[in-house]
Structure 1
Amino acid sequence: MIELYGRANSTNVWKPLWVLEELGQPYQRYDAGMEHGVVDTPGYRALNPNGRIPSLRHNGVELWESNSICRYLCMMVGGDARGLYPEEAGARASVDRWLDWQLSTLSPAERDLFWNMVRTPEDKRDMQAVRAAVANCGKCWTILEARLGDGRPFIEGENFTLADIVLGCFARRWFGPEVRVPGMPEFPRLAAWFARLGERPGFQKWVAPKLT
């Protein structure tokens, strides 16, 4: 049985949960992080010395880092993982670059927007940081808006892939009513793509609930 550790309201935990739903793999999730604690216990630190989430345990494999976990789940299934992770080298690398871009570029750009608007009391919000984050996020999402400009339904074309899952989780933090502030740029192609993601059961189960 696949064991996944992490609280259900974590964006980085959504990623492997959504992958598991797409792959139809049985799993058990255990709450960990923030109000649930666990992450500072010796047992958890043995699994993940960073004390962060998510972490995975499966058949002797122990992993941390959400995108690595997602890749593992796809490779565990084998083949192209129901289309999520193409076998051909160029196509797989194209998916991988979006996962790396999420970590290196998108996440740092949007962090202040999410934390201020969702996890900070209104009277303590740093609105200057929020405005800067909106501008930086806008630059990131402009790249994806252009990517979708040829009419493709998903980031890599006709097929829904791991890139859609990983970026879709962060798009939830952009399009969600919890974070909307005046002056946020509009991205019609991105919005249409996000609506398509919202039709998928894995999104509805784990990503759609209110941000907290």
Structure 2
Amino acid sequence: MRVLGRASSINVRKVLWALDELEESYDREDWGLPIRDPKVPEFLALNPNGQVPVIIEHDGFTLWESNAILLYLARTRSSLMPTDDHAYGQALQWLIWQATELNPPWGYALNALARKTPGYDDPAKIGESIERWTRKMEMLEEQLSPTTAFVAGDSLSLADIVLGLSIHRWFRTPMPHKAFPKIEAYYTRLRQRPAGARWMPDKIV
């Protein structure tokens, strides 16, 4: 399998972490700014959105959109999603929530504080972004179970991979952090896994 995307991308790391958990071999190629512009005909022929990641299977099958790739891997490799219907629903719930609810609030704060992106310097907007992000983390703290190791039971699922990467971004962004004991314990468990440690290093936000 080929994986096209720079490892600094959180969406690329979702896929790489899943592949490592599956012990699947792959070749990764750097795509995505500032390394390699994906808005070129060669890449747009694979993904018309010009975004990473993209995977190319051994038989030439091509797929884009990180969560679609994750669900495809879980289905074709018969792993990383629970077989119990209720647990499967919970894992899918958190997988979707991470993308639609947890991720959007961090945009301004991340660009201002971690990436130092020009134009992201409005203190009010930074504060609002942090406040909204914190509220979502509060929700996760309340929902995490103290009796199970992972969000959908006792086994790692795709939901844990995407949540782990978002939590990693929370802790690595230089800003005030409210104490979340359950999230901290959960994050520690995920980083104790070899693939979790590899794709949530201190140097990557």
Q: TM-score, normalised on structure 1?
A: 0.89
Q: Is the CA contact (8 Å cut-off) linking 1:4 and 1:55 kept in structure 2?
A: yes
Mark the runs of 5 or more structure 2 residues left unpaired by the alignment. none
Q: Is the CA contact (8 Å cut-off) linking 1:55 and 1:65 kept in structure 2?
A: yes
* 2:115 corresponds to which of 110, 115, 119: 119
Q: Aligned-pair distance for 1:128?
A: 2.1
Partner of 2:174: 180
| Cα distance in 2, alignment partners of residues 28 and 53 from structure 1 | 15
Q: Aligned-pair distance for 1:20?
A: 0.4
* Closer/same/farther in 2, CA of residues 96 and 35 from structure 1, 3 Å limit: same
| Cα distance in 2, alignment partners of residues 111 and 50 from structure 1 | 20
Deviations 1:71-119 (A, max 9, x none): 11111112xx1xx211233322221111111111111111222221121
Deviations 1:55-77 (A, max 9, x none): 11112321111111111111111
Partner of 1:207: 200
Higher helix share: 1
Deviation larger for 114-123 or 13-22: 114-123
Partner of 2:10: 11
RMSD: 1.8
Partner of 2:62: 62
Partner of 1:77: 77
Q: Aligned-pair distance for 1:123?
A: 9.3
Q: Aligned-pair distance for 1:38?
A: 3.8
Letter in 2 for 1:71: L
Q: Aligned-pair distance for 1:122?
A: 8.7
Matched position secondary structure for 1:166: helix
| Cα distance in 1, alignment partners of residues 112 and 70 from structure 2 | 28
Q: Is the CA contact (8 Å cut-off) linking 1:113 and 1:134 kept in structure 2?
A: yes
Deviation larger for 45-54 or 94-103: 94-103
| Cα distance in 2, alignment partners of residues 204 and 25 from structure 1 | 17
Deviations 1:132-176 (A, max 9, x none): 121111111112111224332211122221111011011111011
| Cα distance in 2, alignment partners of residues 126 and 188 from structure 1 | 31
Partner of 1:20: 19
Runs of at least 4 residues off by over 6 Å: none
Letter in 2 for 1:198: R
Q: Aligned-pair distance for 1:205?
A: 1.6
Q: Is the CA contact (8 Å cut-off) linking 1:118 and 1:211 kept in structure 2?
A: no
| Cα distance in 2, alignment partners of residues 69 and 75 from structure 1 | 10
| Cα distance in 1, alignment partners of residues 117 and 96 from structure 2 | 31
| Cα distance in 1, alignment partners of residues 144 and 93 from structure 2 | 16
Q: Is the CA contact (8 Å cut-off) linking 1:109 and 1:137 kept in structure 2?
A: yes
Q: Is the CA contact (8 Å cut-off) linking 1:109 and 1:133 kept in structure 2?
A: yes
Deviation larger for 37-46 or 185-194: 37-46
1:24-39 pair list within 5 angstroms: 24-39=23-38
Q: Aligned-pair distance for 1:22?
A: 0.3
Aligned-residue sequence identity (percent) comes to 34
